[in-house]
Amino acid sequence: MSMNGSKYDVVVIGAGPAGYPASIRAAQNGLTVACIDEWKNKDGSHSYGGTCLNAGCIPSKALLESSELYFRSRSEFKEHGVVIDKVGLDLGAMQARKGSIVRQLTRGIEALLKSNGVEAIRGHGRLIDGTTVEVTDTEGKQKVVHGDNIILATGSMPMVLPEAPLHSNLVVDSWGALEFEEVPERLGVIGSGVVGLELGSVWQRLGSKVVILEALGDFLPMVDLDVAQETHRHLKGQGLDIRLGAEVTGTTISENNVTVTYTVDGESHNLEVDRLVVCVGRRPFTDSLFGENAGVELDNQGFICVDSSCRTAVPTVWAVGDVVRGPMLAHKGTEEGVMVADLIAGKFSEVSYKIIPSVIYTSPEVSWVGQTEAEVKASGIAYKVGTFPFLANGRAKSMDQSKGLVKLIAAQDDDGILGVHIVGPLAGELIAEAVLAMEFSASAEDLQRTMHAHPTLTEALHEAALSADGNAIHMINN
């Protein structure tokens, strides 16, 4: 292998939501860019977009949307006066629709890279030194490429659980659970995190009896307690059987089912299911990424160590997305990728790490930004809380989606918004207003004085801001 490879201003390893926007922005900044990606679909084909487009955000949201329509058409349409004689399920068509959305979007990424003049290279990238990457293509042929700067955006992989190793299509990870060809009669899920709740909801709506085993005693501990409790109540009401404090001790595979053994408070239990999904978190992916002299450091959990600008210990090497500290979210990776591409081009850029929105796409949806009430309390500052239930929101009532609430926390002294927490219809869309407000350092009063269209769900956020000062209009006991 010759070391005289092609030379670029920037070489990006990974074309997920962190790597491909970094590549595009670097090209927009007038730099020459190569983006190396090795994603392999289940049929062996390649496509761009990483986990998010191929096996994460997009396919899961496609199935969440379809399963929600199926569920609502069976349970709620009658109340709207929409009478359908018989609602049937064509899972093949549902999966085909999901596949088509993924194909359209991943091809879109390929087209975007091309139209921006990014050289897209399929293969495995390995960092040899601060400016050199070795690329191994699918046939095993190797070449080197050079970059004045290199961006590592290699993403993450599901964590394995030694007590529940994956087994063909019986014990699967999140990707496997997006691909079921039949609705399992009994579905076990290990982990009541974001994947467990979203994919558990999909299959529960389509008819599975779903049991979720969660090791921790608390439900969604990262979510504000009021919102977590409200969410728990509604998900339980839908039939999701969430067993907290459940420690999985082993699995036994039979021909067509799996028995999970677990303990709660030291007492042993068995759970027999037809399919089991293991979703206990993800780990940063750096397998075969570094040559001996790469010089990049990892922390004790395997994340690439970076500073607040995403620069590694090697000044010409940067790392962004799931492979570095912070929440494993597509939009967080994208902002980091864009920031780094701008910094390399000599522009000013930074990521607002304290204002990262999170969304869980259950029904009702959950979203939040900023600090929880417990975090604010622990920080010792004086604060006030405003809440407003969707039950009193006209748009939510007319949609028949009036479960949930908005909670806003603001500082007592300067009225600055510290956190907004929502469980309710389209919470993932509603949080955008709170994110923008916090980006602009808005106060609760700024939201109170902002006109919100009527009737919209956004009025619930307006009312929560008013309620922080005891002034909500549509609330009996402010």
Residue 200 in contact with ligand FAD, rule: CB under 6 A: no
DSSP 396-455: HHHHT----EEEEEEETTT-BEEEEEEEETTHHHHHHHHHHHHHTT-BHHHHHTS---TT
Query: Which tokens hold the place of 394?
Result: 């006209």
CA 181 to chain centroid, in Å, comes to 24
Query: Which tokens hold the place of 339?
Result: 């920031």
Residue 17 in contact with ligand FAD, rule: CB under 6 A: yes
Q: Which value, in Å, is the radius of gyration of the alpha carbons in the chain?
A: 24
The least CB distance from residue 193 to ligand NAI, in Å, is 2
Q: Per CB under 6 A, which region of 91-99, 275-283, 371-379, 446-454 contacts ligand NAI?
A: 275-283
The least CB distance from residue 116 to ligand FAD, in Å, is 17
The least CB distance from residue 471 to ligand FAD, in Å, is 35
The least CB distance from residue 291 to ligand NAI, in Å, is 29
Closest residue to ligand NAI, based on beta-carbon distance: 193
Cβ-based nearer residue to ligand NAI, 173 or 463: 173
Instruction: Looking at residues 233 to 252 of the shown chain, list those that interact with ligand NAI (rule: CB under 6 A).
Output: 248
- Choice among 331, 454, 462, 474 that is catalytic: 454
Residue 361 in contact with ligand NAI, rule: CB under 6 A: yes
Q: Using CB atoms within 10 A of its CB, is residue 388 exposed (0-12), middle (13-18) or buried (19+)?
A: buried
Q: Which residues of 125-136 are buried (b: 16+ CB within 10 A; e: fewer)?
A: bbbbbbbbbbbb
Q: Is 45 helix (H, G, I), strand (E, B) or coil?
A: coil
The least CB distance from residue 226 to ligand FAD, in Å, is 23
153 binds, among ligand NAI, ligand FAD, none (CB under 5 to 8 A by kind): ligand FAD
For this structure, is 124 an active site residue? no
Single residue of 195, 227, 294, 427 touching ligand FAD by CB under 6 A: 195
Neighbours of 21 (CB within 10 A): 26
Q: Which of 41, 47, 30, 34 is nearest to 8 (CA)?
A: 34
Query: Which tokens hold the place of 470?
Result: 């005891």
Instruction: Looking at residues 379 to 418 of the shown chain, list those that interact with ligand FAD (rule: CB under 6 A).
Output: none
Q: Where do contacts with ligand FAD occur on this chain (CB under 6 A)?
A: 13-19, 36-39, 50-52, 56-57, 60, 124-125, 153-156, 174, 195, 285, 289, 321-323, 328-331, 333
Active site residues: 454
